[in-house]
Amino acid sequence: MHGRLFEIERPLVMGILNATPDSFYAHSRVLDVGLIAKRAKEMVEQGADMLDVGACSTRPGAEVPTAEEELSRLNLALKAVRNAVGDSVVLSVDTFRANVARHCVEDFGVDIINDISAGDLDNEMLPVVAQLDVPYIAMHMRGTPSTMQQLTDYDGDVSAVVFEELKRKIDSIHQMGINDVIADLGFGFGKTLEQNYQLLACLEDFHALNVPLLVGVSRKSMIQKVLNCTADEALNGTTVINTISLMKGAHILRVHDVKAAVEAIDLVSFTRKQEKYSL
C-alpha cells in the first residue's frame, strides 16, 4: 500500500457500504451515521478484509449526484467507518471523480481507489492516483452508467475484446506510474446477460493480465434474471457465482454479504488443499 507492492496470498473479501439513497439493493443503503458504523463493524467481525465505500449509485438510470453531494455523503460515511473500525481493515472508495479520490485519501487515509470507468470519466483521475501513490481498481465499462447497456455490440468474442480493452488500459495505467492495479471485468456494466456468463466462463484467461482479479456480481441482475428472483432473494445465486469465480482463481470478491463470501473462500481453500490426494 501507499507505493509498496502488495501481494494477495489468499482470496480477499471486500464488503460494500453504499452511502446512497438509490443503490439497486435496498438493504445496502446506509445513509445514517449510526447504521454505517454498525454495518462496518459487522462486516469486519464477519471477516471482511476490505470495505468499499461509495456515495454515487452507478446502476442504470440512477441520478448522478454532484461532486459536492458525493463528497458530503463520503465525509459522513468515512468518518463513521474510521471511528468504528479504525485502521483494522483496508478502506476503498468507489468513485470516478479525481477530486473526490484525492480528498478521501488525503483526509481519511483511504487505501484504494475503485473506479468504474478506469479513468475514462475524469481525465484527471489517473494522474491524481499516480500522485497519491495508492492501489487502483480499474473496471471495464463502455460509455457511462446511463448509456452502457446500449453499447453491448462487441466485435467478435466478448471475452477477447474485454481482455484486449482491459490490457490496453492497464498498460497505460502502469505507464502513468501506478504500480498496484486490480482488474474488474465489469459484470453487468455494458454487457448482455449472455455476455456476463461468457466472461465468467473464461475468467481464468484473464490471469494473463498479470494483475489481481476482482469479481463483483453480488445480487446483480445477471443472477436475478436467470433465477427469476429479486435482489433480496439473490444471495444463494451470488454464492454460487462467487464459488465458480474462486475455482477460476478470483483474488477479491466484492460483496454485500461478507459471511457467505468468507465461507465460500474457506470451503474452496479447504478443497484445494485436498487436491494433492487426487488420483
By annotation, the residues acting in catalysis are 220, 254
Beta strands of the chain (E only): which ranges? 12-18, 50-54, 90-94, 112-115, 136-139, 181-184, 213-215, 252-255
Q: What is the dihedral of CA 227, 229, 233, 238, to 10 degrees?
A: 40
Q: For residues 43 and 18, is the Cβ–Cβ distance under 8 A?
A: no
CA distances to 7, 13, 39, 267 from 259, in Å: 23, 9, 13, 12
How many angstroms separate the CA atoms of 178 and 137, rounded? Answer: 11
